Structure 1
């Protein structure tokens, strides 16, 4: 709004000048007095915006365009001018000036000033879109010289769509009042159902069987996480009650029921009981938690508070054996589950169908009878002069020294010093260590992909193939003998010759089948996939490494070395 500073003798004189200059009535001039004395007045003046003043009302109907001039004390000629400006602003075409003059003289009455043209006067369009049973939107396309939709008309359109719930009436009013066009606005929202919660079980023990690792990646064998011990009356599992849901309703007024919540039973197994309130499963004895067939039982653990020696004799137990002391030379411990040794294992025999965990180390005699057979994983601080056959992983902290280790899964020696020095270390899945070999070129042999059971089958195939070859050679020799005999003799022994031919044919068939089986077996351990030898720190000279058919003798010290087989070329890759 532009403002002017004007001087004059008095206020009336200044307003008269402004009115005459801009051809507007004096009441359209606002002012502030800046200075006033007997000789002169100084005003800051500005013109009232005509857009803020409404002089007429225009109705666009199918039967014509109607004008009503609002009652005012304005000068008739000036009023007529303002009304014409408003009509022009509305883009009314072919209006009758005489009718406008008539309407100006007859204020408050609607007068038809023009004909309606449906192609020229286009009303606003209302688009209601149902996005989902829970939500609908409204969008108004701006009119072109036509009418805005009425609030009641929009409500009728909503009703026609079948929407009866969650209508946002205030949003509709805001759109109309602020003339919000070409913008989708949420018109109605249903109430989504709130699903309830099924009853669930809260376990009061750690179900994760991973060993705890500290910030230095050292396994904490003092706090084993493999055995879940409980005392009598300890809570094992607690049931959390089910929580019913809350039904919803869509914008069409249709109820949206929630799914029925389900209860759950406490998994009561052996040596457990359910509390009086029915919400807790407790241990009825001291022992180990066992999860089997969706039930939880408490099974006793055989605990040896000292060494395995002459005071205990050999141990054979259905369950887990926990040894607080050492396993001395010459003794045997067998368990259908785990063997846990808190001390040392000397030149002894250990057999476990599950895991063997030795908190300290395993030290056998160089020419001793020490042997460990593990159905799953073996974990220990170190191993020396021991024979190990493991159907799972072998995970050692400090070192493997002069031992014969065989694992079907990975062998890892990385948590502590992580050294493999001397002996034979075999794995079907991969070997990882910090340091391999000794400073003085200690002969150390690593091998990938030759788990002994597969190797044993291969030997059995070879033995059988040799037997078949010998038998085939004998039959071939007899056949040759027959061919060298006279026709008379051959005719007399024709049946015998036929038998030899049949036997030879069957023998070749069996031989080829056996040979194919051997090839498949070789392929099984030759296809190493992702198996590799990883030396995270130092690979010393004197280390012999075999990956499938590839043999590599390391002759110089290397750092951060990985040996693998290229899957495409089948060649040995050393990185």
Structure 2
């Protein structure tokens, strides 16, 4: 706090942030006259207080002084920081994607309404600009800079155009709207009017694909958006950046493959390899190799999971798991299978890099010895420089992988969240792992929830 005074009768102090100034009048023992308004102003000026002076308070102090008490005499103006820009979507970009359960218990896979679509020239969103900050000023008269709001980030992708001011975004075509990684695009949909067969060949499309018929064995459908099939999928391969919707199902004959960057919804899946980054929903999954990043839901009339191996990140909700014939059924829950696989890859890569850096250090050490005795040829000098560059590259990569490994290990520790809920029957012959805990089901269980507690799997009420 800074201070000064008229003799010893008046002191001015300023707060550390210089946003407030106080005045203190000490009663004079000699009975001197109390300071007048000009003297008080002079004292403020002497201490550098020039802004936000409360003149009414000053007048009152001059007329009726308050002794031995700090009185707020000046106050600065705080800066007003600007608001960040934002994006106002005029369509439901986060539409809930959920099949409808009918009164008879069946699931309506016909009206899923998964696609967020826009018509040609339809306005998709408005960009609300950021507001500028308003500078403040302290009692010493110094400007305090305000922070202006940051603009909202949105990148114009495929089939999108903007207004002249760049604040409104429109669809250039009839198609599917995707907003991912701050990029707004509209994808046209490709429709196959009948089967995917010799007449169509394999399909690879940047947008979404609608297939009115079946997908026959041996064919491949790849899409940047969603894939929807109205008929049956045989021993074919379907890969989608978004969701896969099978109105009927898949009979894979141990060769069928479904891989989705989003959700997979099907009536049934048999003898297939299935990977869903997010959720998987079906009425029955039989003798298949399943990976599901988040939640596996088996509903409808059957709600059946039997045979094969199923790895699920968070939760399985089924009516029946296994069969009365004690069919070998393996289930792993609690860790996203993609995280587990990535963990193995990173560990292996890290081991290779550490071996590479060990070998590189040996080469560098040998070449530096030759350099110290003046026997380093131009060719070996080039090799030394290359080895030093390689070492830096390996060190940076090792650092990146170690950071990633820490994050992956944190995810692997979330195994306690794994749950298996069975509404009707969980049959013997089923092997269950939740995180690091394992259990072999020896006798049929009913209406139960399985979860990990400590090192064991516990069985609770449904």
Same-fold status (TM-score > 0.5): yes
Q: Label 1:447 to 1:138 Cα distance change in 2 as closer, same or farther (>3 A).
A: farther
The residue aligned with 1:134 is 19
Larger radius of gyration: 1
1:6-57, CA deviations, whole angstroms, 9 ceiling, x for partnerless residues?
xxxxxxxxxxxxxxxxxxxxxxxxxxxxxxxxxxxxxxxxxxxxxxxxxxxx
SS in 1 for 2:241: coil
The residue aligned with 1:162 is 48
SS in 2 for 1:136: strand
1:422 aligns with 2:306: yes
- RMSD, aligned α-carbons: 4.9
Instruction: Identify which of 117, 142, 152 aligns with 1:229.
Output: 117
Instruction: Identify which of 67, 74, 94 aligns with 1:188.
Output: 74
Q: Label 1:263 to 1:315 Cα distance change in 2 as closer, same or farther (>3 A).
A: same
**CA apart distance, 1:390:** 0.8
Q: Distance in 2 between matches of 1:369 and 1:224?
A: 30
TM-score, normalising length: structure 2: 0.62
SS in 1 for 2:57: helix
TM-score, normalising length: structure 1: 0.52
Larger RCO (CA within 8 A; separation ≥ 6): 2
Q: Label 1:265 to 1:438 Cα distance change in 2 as closer, same or farther (>3 A).
A: closer
The residue aligned with 1:555 is 443
Which consecutive residues of structure 1, in runs of 5 or more, have no partner in the other structure?
1-121, 462-523
Q: Distance in 2 between matches of 1:183 and 1:350?
A: 83
The residue aligned with 2:209 is 322
SS in 1 for 2:288: strand
Q: Distance in 1 between matches of 2:154 and 2:413?
A: 44
The residue aligned with 1:437 is 321
1:402 aligns with 2:286: yes
Q: Check the 8 A contact 2:332/2:432 in 1, yes or no.
A: yes
Matches for 1:384-399 after TM superposition, within 5 Å: 384-390=269-275, 392-396=277-281, 399=283
**CA apart distance, 1:291:** 5.8
1:327-372, CA deviations, whole angstroms, 9 ceiling, x for partnerless residues?
356473511424432635443524214234226442538xx46623
Q: Check the 8 A contact 1:222/1:359 in 2, yes or no.
A: no
Q: Check the 8 A contact 2:284/2:298 in 1, yes or no.
A: no
Aligned residues between the structures: 378
Q: Distance in 2 between matches of 1:253 and 1:176?
A: 24
Matches for 1:71-470 after TM superposition, within 5 Å: 126=11, 128-138=13-23, 149-152=34-37, 153-173=39-59, 185-196=71-82, 202-208=88-94, 211=97, 222=111, 224=113, 227-241=115-129, 243-258=131-146, 267-276=155-164, 278-289=166-177, 296-304=184-192, 306-308=193-195, 313-323=200-210, 325-327=212-214, 330=217, 332-341=219-228, 343-358=230-245, 360-364=247-251, 368=253, 371-390=256-275, 392-396=277-281, 399-407=283-291, 409-413=293-297, 419-427=303-311, 429-437=313-321, 440=324, 443=327, 445-448=329-332
The residue aligned with 2:426 is 540
Q: Distance in 2 between matches of 1:369 and 1:229?
A: 35
SS in 1 for 2:52: coil
Q: Label 1:262 to 1:410 Cα distance change in 2 as closer, same or farther (>3 A).
A: closer
Q: Label 1:293 to 1:435 Cα distance change in 2 as closer, same or farther (>3 A).
A: closer
Q: Distance in 2 between matches of 1:528 and 1:278?
A: 44
